[in-house]
Chains A and B, each alone.
Chain A
Amino acid sequence: MSAHHEQSFISKYVFSIDHKYIAKQYTVTGMIFAFIGGLFAVAFRTQLAWPGTNIPFIGVLDGMKYNMLVTNHAMIMFFWAGMPILLAGLGNFVIPLMLGADDMAFPKLNMLSYWIFFVSAVLLILSFMAPGGGAAGGWTMYPPLNAQQGVDPDANFLVNLWTGGSLLILAVAVEFASMLLGGINFLVTSLNMRAKGMKLMDVPAVVWMINLATVDFMFSVGPLISGAVMLLFDRIFNTGFYDPARGGDPILFQHLFWFFGHPEVYVVLLPAIGIVAEIVPTFSRKPLFASRWIIIMATASAFIAFIVWAHHQFVAGIDPRMAEFFSITTIIISVPFAFIFFAVIATMFKGQIEVKTPMLWALGFLVFFLVGGVTGIFNGSAGLDMYIHDTYFVIAHFHYTLIPAVFFAGLAALHFWFPKATGRMMNETLGKLHFWITSIGFNMFAFPLFFSGLYGEHRRIFNYSSYQPMMADWIINIRHVATIGAMILAAAQVLLFINIILSATSGEKAGKNPWKCNTLEWVADSPPPHGNFATPPSCYRGPYEYSNPKRSGSDFWPQNEQ
């Protein structure tokens, strides 16, 4: 294993091929973008609560600027924060370590994947500098608006390429190329490079979930890329694929988009569930309840995820018989997730629960995601969705799914694997304070929106002053509370930055296995050297043997010990 030779500065810190360092690059980039995306949200929420406020660095928002912030908030949070943190960052860190491998199957491809991602981030930033500003057509990029906004049909194609809308499409396409390379790496590594003796069912749930998410991503992204290529050609080559006046079909884009867009939700959700499925048994000192069935159910949901997409299009004029089909599949997909939820809760039953920071975030995920999951059933019913479509009810619903998934589960993972990544423990007091302030801010921001949404508040209006029914006192108060909540949520993240910097420099030293955990990454040193393991570990059992009566002397049984 000494084949991993000394690295120069550039090959260690810039063009690194070490999966752990690439994971850190992805995570840090993702966190920076998450913060930017959050500030965008604070800016446009301020406009909603107090129309005409002069916002620092941005000024007074007009309709166009408001749309630009909303569009890019969603884009950034999904593609430059959610996926890099939960899929690329987490996957790169845990997959080789948990499988007992020395690195990914294709280390150079892995490095390439990060730098392609970096290029996509540069393209995203460039899109704001284009004449007319960034894209402002909504994150779903629906044509005909997005095929025409900022485009001059008579101009040279380079002129039309140098517009916010075109650059954003290009940035997203490049980002997907990066995630595709990463995904190939994940699947090949997981199938071909497991430790000796590790059967597929001995693979920890989080690795399973990341791979299922990767499958969902890889097999759904093709149609979206084809749709995006056609949209880009409409903008730069004047092709008219989505222009009804020339025989094109704008609904076609919606199908291509949501065929990807819905599995994408599970791309973010499945790794989050995997994280929680690792953390809850560790801090309850009990085996993961029905772990085999959790994996079967997650696999089932990953497949059902491909046949629910048109529930985003109930009001787009699709055939009611089709709407009925998609209503049914949408409600069916909640069954496997309900199963997984109950199984994770059953894991805690009669366990010796120790509420350390990672466990706190995992519990936060369980509680808050439930709200999002249950309200999803309302949106999935075609009849009810006609009414709540495009209202703040939908906004509240998906923030209750995505914020628990990306932030609560993501931060659970950060606190859980931080000792392994840096060799030092994170500060518990700061971590708990951060959790509670984040939870308060998040619920203050998202929960009231259910009510204003049910009242009929529409999501794509930047100033309600001229809509009298939307200016009742209570609904104005809701806007104020939600905006203050969003501000608290953003401000709380300062605590996280302080905690990361303090802990990484002067935190308590972590041993190899601070949480007394079974999986193979805890066999390596903290932080693991380039090449991970001193001797390649072998695997003798599943990952959740906590409090096994056959094991005397300790309540855990690492996978590599006989």
Chain B
Amino acid sequence: MVSLKENKKTTNQSTVITNGALGMILFVATEIMFFSGLISAFVVNASDNIGAWPPKWQPRLPVEATAVNTLILFASAITLFFAIRKTKSKTDGNFKTSSNLLKITMLLGGTFVALQGFEWVQLIGAGLTSSSSLFGAFFYTIIGMHGIHALAGVIYLFVISLKIIKSFDSNIKMKMMQTLSIYWFFVVLLWPVLYLLVYVLPSKG
């Protein structure tokens, strides 16, 4: 993401949306298609294995504990929202506050990833591994792919939180925040879909 540096010299036409934001929207759109592939594979296999999804002898997923983790991730979206609102007044003092809010967002995101890692260790101990059953394979692939995106987002949040306290054009800072927020909101909003699909629905049947 660091290399998403804009060519600032010529934007010949008045544009509706900045280059960085448009590029990030396109990137997120391809990511959505990627997760759609995984989700449809999951649904196809779930419907092929009705009654055994997950198999009876495999451990259940911690639906309640992960609900708490979901709230932590949602909280990070709220802190990011306030970080962006602070930038609207464009004074350097406010970018300091934004930077701090970004760091809180980063910590919340990091907690989410860490708790998942903790959960994985327990599940592997209980006998759910990537090769123990198809459900396990899907669980680690889908949740792991989301986790990698969350981890990349945490690094991205950290980089931007350091950048915006340096002194340069505040318009560019705002654009950087905008691009960052598209990515992090994608990570946050994707999660409830995966939570419902992988954790909640299989636990019902």
Contact = CB atoms under 8 A, between A and B. Distances in A.
Given A101-B12, A105-B7, A226-B41, A246 B134 contact: yes
Interface in A100-142: 100-109, 112
A239 B131 contact: yes
Interface stretch (A78-86, A248-256, A346-354, A402-410): A248-256
Contact of A188 (B22, B52, B134): B22
B44 interface: yes
Contacts of B137: 230, 233, 237, 239-241
Interface string B1-44: 00111110111110101110011001101111111111011001
B23 A105 contact: yes
A252 B48 CA distance: 11
A247 B45 contact: yes
Contacts of A184: 23, 26-27
Interface residues of A, number: 52
Contact of B30 (A180, A195, A233): A180
Contacts of A1: 9
A222 B36 CA distance: 8
Contacts of B17: 192
Q: Is the interface of B mostly helix, strand, loop or mixed?
A: helix
Given A192-B13, A218-B30, A222-B35, A252 B22 contact: no
B141 A230 contact: yes
Contact of A227 (B19, B41, B133): B41
A224 B30 CA distance: 11
Given A188-B22, A230-B41, A240-B137, A221 B30 contact: yes
Contacts of A198: 13
B5 A108 contact: yes
Given A241-B137, A247-B45, 12 more contacts: A102-B7, A108-B5, A183-B26, A192-B19, A193-B11, A220-B33, A222-B31, A222-B37, A230-B137, A239-B141, A240-B137, A256-B37
Interface of A: 1, 3, 100-109, 112, 180, 183-185, 187-188, 191-196, 198, 218-227, 229-230, 233, 237-241, 246-249, 252, 256, 259, 536
Interface of B: 3-7, 9-13, 15, 17-19, 22-23, 26-27, 29-38, 40-41, 44-45, 48-49, 52, 130-131, 133-134, 137-138, 141, 145
Chain A to chain B: the 7 pairs with minimum beta-carbon distance, closest first: A222-B33, A226-B37, A223-B37, A222-B34, A239-B137, A238-B131, A226-B38
18 contacts: A105-B7, A105-B23, A106-B23, A107-B5, A187-B22, A191-B15, A192-B11, A192-B13, A198-B13, A221-B30, A222-B30, A222-B32, A222-B34, A224-B37, A229-B38, A241-B45, A241-B141, A247-B52
